[in-house]
Structure 1
Amino acid sequence: MFAKKNLIAVAALATLAVSAQAQSSVTLYGNLDVGLTYEKVKQAGNSDTTTGVTSSILTESFFGLKGQEDLGGGLKAIFKLESFINVDDGSVDGNFWGKNAYIGVAGSFGTVALGNQESLFKTEAAAFDAFGVSPVLAVSKLFVGDTLGGSWQNTIGYTSPNLSGLTLSVQHSARESNAAPTTSPTNAVNGGATAVAANYTAGALGLSAVYGDVRSTNATLAATQQQAWLLGASYDFGVVKAFAQYGQNKAENATGAETGKDKFYQLGAVVPVTQAGALHAAYGQNKNDNAALADSESRKFSLAYHHTLSKRTGVYAGLAYTKAEVGTAETKTTAIAAGLRHAF
């Protein structure tokens, strides 16, 4: 009888252990992307060429940890830690957890997260760019840049559940100070940033809109205040998936005077060539009207072929051509790359 009770107790403990493990999980994951690159820059009659082994060409290279715990009642705790890495030399790119570092709760109401988070401008721009978040080939980089399209620190974010194809998101990067900019620089505005986004999907159709009031995203003072919006659309015709984006970004200084206004558009497409391969193409332009400085304009064309070798591994080859004009000065950049990426 004693032995039987012990066996029952052991079985009960084992069941509890399995149940507890099933209620929480931690996953190690990431992406490695590296390739051979050739870049030629022509400016003022001179040209420079660079060849090398480069990280993060078609996709971002990073590793991360994410997990969740079932809290009961349909509620769960979540976390995510992600770090950019340079595969070519093994170094960390930026802050160690510079991509994402947050904890939150999720339930039927949606998801609330606190910490360092990728901006809504980055995620929305990537969703409607034929090259996603590609550091080298994505045309939307002309518009979102590092401030709008980077990761926002000291952030609280909310994402709604899927409402018949519609998803709403809000993001706020706290300025973490009530003090006016009385110290150097005195011609600055308080930091902080806020963005809202709407995403709608219905079958082959995808639509998005994001608006933001951005001063700084790391709680520091800023020289300008940006008011930006970006619209995106996509449609999968089967033989081709088409993308389009249009956005504007107005910058003002501490006195409220306009210092520049960006107008951006891009068109792109992904064409399946074989069951395992697809051709990606995109063209875009960003034009900046600046009252104080010379007007500027950048045009970019990207073309690449990506071939999947397995569910997690692929090879690619591509090129990007960018022409930037500031007043009468002109810079032409041609980048050619071939590489390998692996997700784990």
Structure 2
Amino acid sequence: MKSNHATRLVRTVFAATLCSLATFAAHAQSSVTLYGILDSGVEYVTHAARQGSGNLFRVNTGNRINSRWGFTGKEDLGEGLRSIFTLESGFATNNGTSQQGGRLFGRQAFVGLESDKFGAVMAGRQMTPMYRFSLALDPLNYSSYGLSAQDAQFVGRADNALEYLGHVGPFELNALYSFGYDSTIANGGQVPGEFRVGKQFDIGGRYRQGPFNLTLVYEQRRGTSVASSGDSERRYLAGGSWAIGNATLYAGYELLLNDIVATLTASPPQTMAFGGLRYKVTPAFQVSAASYYHIFRTVSAHAISTGVNADYLLSKRTTLYADVTYVINSTKSALSATGSTTPVATGANQLAVVVGIAHTF
């Protein structure tokens, strides 16, 4: 009898404990999610060298969307307030190496507070407003031949950053301040007594209502040495999109001003105008087309990159894709079809073709 009574008592306590935990979990509404993307394909690029000769045939990663894995989570603190965090690691599927300068969590690593009324404040390594808001502006769906190939800051991130993200109705605001935007380079972090070295400031806003998206972004990055801390890269971006039935139209403009000598090769002063469309042929098949026209201000050169993408959804998580881009350079221009990964000789044109598969989990 005592044994049966003890057994019933243990069962009762155990059941009560489970109910209490379930009630607490439902009240707290806390969660942690593991997620990721795998993207790999076969790529062919012509004139893939600064000498202008040599074609490249390779297995490449992140052609449509960069491969990654990460954790994101939140905890309900009550009264519409939540703590949030994200740890996101970028890697190459063709060889397994870490990207973003070899950082373990190079894509994102931040913690913050989020409010239903006042928005979110986050601290850590984060994507910039130019990155966050431009995702919805690229006709080529942010493939490796799209906006990121025109200017690397379209996928920019900043170390040591404080960021605010909020919205009022259809209006969104994103502001970022970094105390040292790249800690992997000398003086790219904080320098005692030198307030301006390696600093970055961004602010962006957009209006999204129904089929319309209108976006404005400003970004400023200071030089990463004491001598260049008074110089800066400044980017002004305006763009938008308009959905009409199964089609979405895109247009945008970027002005890049730069007086930092050390970054002139990677970020030459220029203006760029772009436009294109994306069309959903069927729920499982869509095509995109876009052109990006550059005028390089200091060398009297111009270039145009034109691309076409096709996506076929095998399921909600698996996509087959094919991308084709052709770049026409003037005699003093050296715009690459894929950005910095495959340089091209000055004045040479370049063709890039890739077919691959992307899977999300």
TM-score band by shorter chain is: 0.7 to 0.9
Residues 36-55 of structure 1 aligned to structure 2 (within 5 Å): 36-41=42-47, 46-55=52-61
Aligned to 2:130: 121
Aligned to 2:40: 34
Instruction: Choose the corresponding residue for 1:18, options 22, 36, 52.
Output: 22
Aligned to 1:319: 324
Following superposition, the deviation at residue 140 of structure 1 comes to 5.2
Following superposition, the deviation at residue 283 of structure 1 comes to 0.3
Deviations 1:40-87 (A, max 9, x none): 117899531111111000111111111111122221111101111111
Aligned to 1:156: 162
CA distance in 1, matches of 2:320, 2:159: 34
Aligned to 1:185: none
Q: Go from structure 1 to structure 2 and tell me whether the alpha carbon gap of 1:299 and 1:170 turns closer, same or farther (over 3 Å shift).
A: same
CA distance in 1, matches of 2:278, 2:331: 31
Q: Is the 8 A contact 1:60 1:133 kept in 2?
A: no
TM-score (norm 1): 0.86
Residues 280-299 of structure 1 aligned to structure 2 (within 5 Å): 280-290=288-298, 294-299=299-304
CA distance in 1, matches of 2:50, 2:98: 35
CA distance in 2, matches of 1:222, 1:3: 77
Q: Go from structure 1 to structure 2 and tell me whether the alpha carbon gap of 1:74 and 1:12 turns closer, same or farther (over 3 Å shift).
A: farther
Following superposition, the deviation at residue 27 of structure 1 comes to 0.8
Q: Go from structure 1 to structure 2 and tell me whether the alpha carbon gap of 1:43 and 1:115 turns closer, same or farther (over 3 Å shift).
A: closer
Q: Is the 8 A contact 2:52 2:348 kept in 1?
A: no
Q: Is the 8 A contact 1:129 1:140 kept in 2?
A: no
Following superposition, the deviation at residue 260 of structure 1 comes to 6.0
Following superposition, the deviation at residue 132 of structure 1 comes to 3.0
Q: Larger deviation: 279-288 or 123-132?
A: 123-132
Q: Larger deviation: 270-279 or 219-228?
A: 219-228
Instruction: Choose the corresponding residue for 2:305, options 300, 303, 312.
Output: 300
CA distance in 2, matches of 1:239, 1:122: 25
Following superposition, the deviation at residue 145 of structure 1 comes to 1.6
Q: Go from structure 1 to structure 2 and tell me whether the alpha carbon gap of 1:150 and 1:313 turns closer, same or farther (over 3 Å shift).
A: same
Aligned to 1:338: 355
Q: Go from structure 1 to structure 2 and tell me whether the alpha carbon gap of 1:197 and 1:33 turns closer, same or farther (over 3 Å shift).
A: same
Give, as a single letter, the amino acid of the residue that structure 2 aligns with 1:312: R
Q: Go from structure 1 to structure 2 and tell me whether the alpha carbon gap of 1:10 and 1:42 turns closer, same or farther (over 3 Å shift).
A: closer
Q: Which runs of 5+ in 2 are unaligned?
A: 181-189, 262-266, 334-345
The secondary structure found in structure 1 opposite 2:155 is coil
CA distance in 1, matches of 2:52, 2:120: 52
CA distance in 1, matches of 2:148, 2:92: 22
Aligned to 2:241: 234
Residues 1-344 of structure 1 aligned to structure 2 (within 5 Å): 7-22=11-26, 23-41=29-47, 46-94=52-100, 95-108=103-116, 109-135=118-144, 137-139=145-147, 141-142=149-150, 144-146=151-153, 149-160=155-166, 162-175=167-180, 176-180=190-194, 190-215=197-222, 223=228, 224-253=231-260, 261-290=269-298, 294-325=299-330, 327=332, 329-344=346-361
Q: Is the 8 A contact 1:228 1:250 kept in 2?
A: yes
Q: Go from structure 1 to structure 2 and tell me whether the alpha carbon gap of 1:276 and 1:262 turns closer, same or farther (over 3 Å shift).
A: same
The secondary structure found in structure 2 opposite 1:211 is strand
CA distance in 2, matches of 1:269, 1:222: 44
TM-score (norm 2): 0.82
The secondary structure found in structure 2 opposite 1:121 is helix
Q: Larger deviation: 2-11 or 29-38?
A: 2-11
CA distance in 2, matches of 1:180, 1:45: 41
The secondary structure found in structure 2 opposite 1:59 is coil
* Count of residue pairs brought into register by the alignment: 324
CA distance in 2, matches of 1:123, 1:138: 15
Following superposition, the deviation at residue 220 of structure 1 comes to 5.9
Q: Which runs of 5+ in 1 are unaligned?
A: 182-188
Give, as a single letter, the amino acid of the residue that structure 2 aligns with 1:102: F
CA distance in 1, matches of 2:121, 2:113: 6
CA distance in 1, matches of 2:247, 2:138: 14
Q: Go from structure 1 to structure 2 and tell me whether the alpha carbon gap of 1:10 and 1:43 turns closer, same or farther (over 3 Å shift).
A: closer
RMSD of aligned C-alpha atoms?
Answer: 2.5
Q: Is the 8 A contact 2:313 2:320 kept in 1?
A: yes
The secondary structure found in structure 2 opposite 1:127 is coil
Following superposition, the deviation at residue 226 of structure 1 comes to 1.4
The secondary structure found in structure 1 opposite 2:349 is strand
CA distance in 2, matches of 1:2, 1:247: 74
Q: Go from structure 1 to structure 2 and tell me whether the alpha carbon gap of 1:42 and 1:180 turns closer, same or farther (over 3 Å shift).
A: closer
Percentage of matched positions with identical amino acids: 25
